[in-house]
């Protein structure tokens, strides 16, 4: 399949009216570098707006799957239809060849991962590596947009210097444009978010920001907010996620207090949510995913540039949230103690390994540290997750049946609140398990029903059961 790319339009040499006309005619050619969880839906959105789009990724299997017409994100509702449409209309294809894609594109959009490395430091190597290549590939008149989440100042202080290399003699704002539009989508709900959540735009100069605004206005039916610069836009992205991260830490501490007092935190939160200025957050076994844990580390990294005493609340929140895996182990041990057992040689079933409900994604999942701690204490681990049936996860083959997984088990730990688990009757545990011990880390099991069914029930913050 070949997209019909004409000569580059040199978008940064056009005025806004010319940009609008080119967009309407489908004459702006787009390259999305990084077509993973967020990048692929982004690329499909651009292609669905009738802009010829190439997706670039180093994962050859992913590229081949896409080009053969197989949609890889089965847990992203709505995008399967968009995928079929853009493949049929030949407005989208994928490649592993960055050089080919960039040479045919007016707009290069970067949707690359920015994870945290083993030393707990933001890892921008993917962005930096691609940008070094772009510095030798971009043509005058090109536009580069960064959607990846980075800390404030990274674009101005690092990426701009890489792109404005001595090797190309191109000047930002004169020969090419550089700006940001941080992604804000929630995995599993990306299409909904792309059609409802406002987007922030920042750039190194006013004209670039205005052109990015026009492009995103053409693709996404949402409010666009122009920020003063790139670092402000990136700061907003981190602020919203770290705000949530801190509030989860507070609720996690409150949950442990509720256990000690004998209060059900779910009742507390439900009532508190009736107050107009309360924003509800729920306790859990830890905070997972590629965003919240990484974003807290990114903002701490920024703070440390100005002294170690900045953002102490974020640092404490990390300590609290990371410590919840140990609390889950404590609750499990407490349940086993009631029947005279310990973790050693006990059969423990993990229900759900995805970091969030109803998606197939184990990035920074809180299930991993819990599994590792259980194994270190001699427990035998089984896993059931409807999104990973018969797949090896953390060296364990996931059961293909819920009933098979829990049959004969000593304890079950519910980690992920998949819809399938919300409908479970507590009696199913008492009828199949050797000892019906259930540790509910998500508060989805009714405590009265659990007691009536004869469960030995433990839940984070469920001290009132």
Q: pLDDT tens track of the chain, all 465 residues?
A: 446 555 568 999 999 999 999 999 999 999 999 999 999 999 999 999 999 999 999 999 999 999 999 999 999 999 999 999 999 999 999 999 999 999 999 999 999 999 999 888 999 999 999 999 999 999 999 999 999 999 999 999 999 999 988 667 889 999 999 999 999 999 999 999 999 999 999 999 999 999 999 999 999 999 999 999 999 999 999 999 999 999 999 999 999 999 999 999 999 999 999 999 999 999 999 999 999 999 999 999 999 888 877 899 999 999 999 999 999 999 999 999 999 999 999 999 999 999 999 999 999 999 999 999 999 999 999 999 999 999 999 999 999 999 999 999 999 999 999 999 999 999 999 999 999 999 999 999 999 999 999 999 999 999 865
CA-to-CA dists, residue 107 to 31, 127, 145, 239, 324, angstroms: 6, 16, 7, 28, 43
| pTM to 2 decimal places | 0.94
Q: How far apart are CA 203 and CA 155, in angstroms?
A: 9
Nearby residues of 236 by Cβ (< 8 Å), 6 or more positions away: 182, 200, 227
| 63 close to 100: Cβ distance less than 8 angstroms | no
Q: How far apart are CA 156 and CA 179, in angstroms?
A: 10
* Kind plus residue range of the DSSP H or E element containing 411: strand 411-414
Q: How far apart are CA 74 and CA 197, in angstroms?
A: 22
**Protein fold of 11-229:** Rossmann fold (3.40.50)
Q: How far apart are CA 331 and CA 440, in angstroms?
A: 9
CA-to-CA dists, residue 303 to 241, 295, 309, 320, angstroms: 16, 12, 8, 19
| 289 close to 356: Cβ distance less than 8 angstroms | yes
How high is the pLDDT of residue 168? 76
CA-to-CA dists, residue 439 to 71, 319, 389, 458, angstroms: 36, 22, 22, 5
Q: How far apart are CA 343 and CA 335, in angstroms?
A: 10
Tokens of 427: 């009696």
How high is the pLDDT of residue 103? 92
How high is the pLDDT of residue 308? 75
CA-to-CA dists, residue 208 to 25, 139, 174, 221, 300, angstroms: 21, 16, 10, 20, 29
Closest CA to 6 of 29, 38, 22: 29
How high is the pLDDT of residue 1? 43
Q: How far apart are CA 376 and CA 446, in angstroms?
A: 31
Closest CA to 182 of 109, 256, 102: 109
Closest CA to 444 of 209, 284, 211: 284
Ramachandran angles phi, psi of 439, nearest 5°: -105, 110
Percentages of the chain per state (helix, strand, coil), in multiples of 5: 45, 15, 45
Q: How far apart are CA 462 and CA 453, in angstroms?
A: 17
End-to-end CA distance of the chain: 60
Query: Exposed, middle or buried by CB within 10 Å (0-12, 13-18, 19+), for 418?
Result: buried
| 204 close to 175: Cβ distance less than 8 angstroms | no
Domain over 244-459 is classified CATH 1.20.1340.10: no
Tokens of 369: 């540290």
Quick one: DSSP state of residue 318?
Answer: H
The Cβ of residue 441 has, within 10 Å, a number of other Cβ atoms equal to 28
Which segments of the chain belong to CATH 3.40.50.720? 11-229, 244-459
CA-to-CA dists, residue 283 to 117, 264, 334, 395, 419, angstroms: 26, 12, 19, 28, 18
3-state secondary structure of 215: helix
How high is the pLDDT of residue 253? 98
Q: How far apart are CA 184 and CA 149, in angstroms?
A: 9
């Amino acid at each position: 399949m070949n997209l019909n790319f004409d000569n580059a339009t040199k978008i940064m040499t056009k005025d806004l009216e010319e940009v609008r006309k080119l967009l309407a005619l489908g004459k702006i050619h787009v390259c999305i570098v990084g077509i993973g969880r967020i990048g692929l839906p982004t690329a499909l959105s651009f292609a669905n707006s009738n802009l010829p789009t190439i997706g670039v990724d180093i994962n050859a299997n992913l590229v081949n799957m896409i080009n053969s017409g197989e949609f890889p994100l089965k847990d992203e509702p709505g995008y399967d239809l968009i995928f079929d449409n853009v493949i049929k209309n030949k407005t989208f294809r994928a490649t592993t060849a960055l050089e080919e894609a960039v040479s045919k594109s007016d707009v290069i959009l970067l949707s690359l991962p920015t994870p945290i490395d083993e030393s707990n430091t933001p890892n921008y190597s993917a962005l930096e590596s691609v940008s070094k290549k772009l510095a030798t590939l971009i043509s005058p008149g090109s536009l580069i947009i960064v959607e990846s989440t980075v800390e404030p100042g990274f674009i101005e202080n690092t990426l701009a210097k890489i792109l404005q290399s001595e090797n190309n003699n191109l000047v930002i704002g004169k020969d090419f444009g550089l700006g940001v539009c941080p992604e804000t989508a929630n995995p599993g709900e990306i299409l909904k978010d792309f059609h409802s959540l406002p987007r922030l735009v920042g750039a190194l100069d006013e004209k670039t920001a205005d052109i990015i605004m026009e492009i995103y206005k053409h693709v996404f039916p949402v409010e666009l907010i122009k920020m003063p610069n790139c670092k402000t836009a990136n700061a907003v992205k981190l602020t919203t996620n770290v705000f949530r991260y801190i509030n989860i830490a507070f609720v996690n501490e409150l949950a442990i207090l509720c256990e000690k007092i004998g209060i059900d935190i779910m009742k507390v939160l439900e009532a508190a949510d009736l107050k107009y200025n309360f924003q509800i957050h729920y306790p859990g076994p830890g905070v997972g995913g590629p965003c919240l844990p990484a974003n807290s580390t990114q903002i701490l990294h920024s703070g440390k540039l100005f002294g170690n005493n900045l953002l102490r609340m974020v640092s404490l929140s990390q300590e609290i949230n990371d410590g919840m895996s140990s609390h889950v182990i404590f609750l499990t041990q407490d349940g086993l103690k009631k029947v005279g057992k310990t973790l050693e040689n006990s059969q423990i079933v993990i229900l759900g390994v995805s970091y969030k409900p109803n998606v197939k994604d184990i990035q920074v999942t809180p299930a991993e540290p819990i599994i590792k701690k259980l194994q270190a204490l001699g427990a035998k681990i089984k896993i059931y997750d409807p999104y990973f049936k018969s797949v090896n996860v953390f060296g364990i083959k996931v059961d293909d049946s819920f009933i098979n997984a829990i049959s004969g088990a000593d304890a079950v730990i519910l980690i992920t609140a998949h819809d399938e688990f919300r409908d479970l009757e507590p009696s199913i545990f008492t009828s199949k398990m050797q000892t019906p011990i259930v540790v509910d880390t998500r508060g989805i099991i009714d405590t009265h029903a659990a007691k009536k069914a004869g469960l030995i029930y433990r839940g984070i913050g469920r001290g009132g059961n």
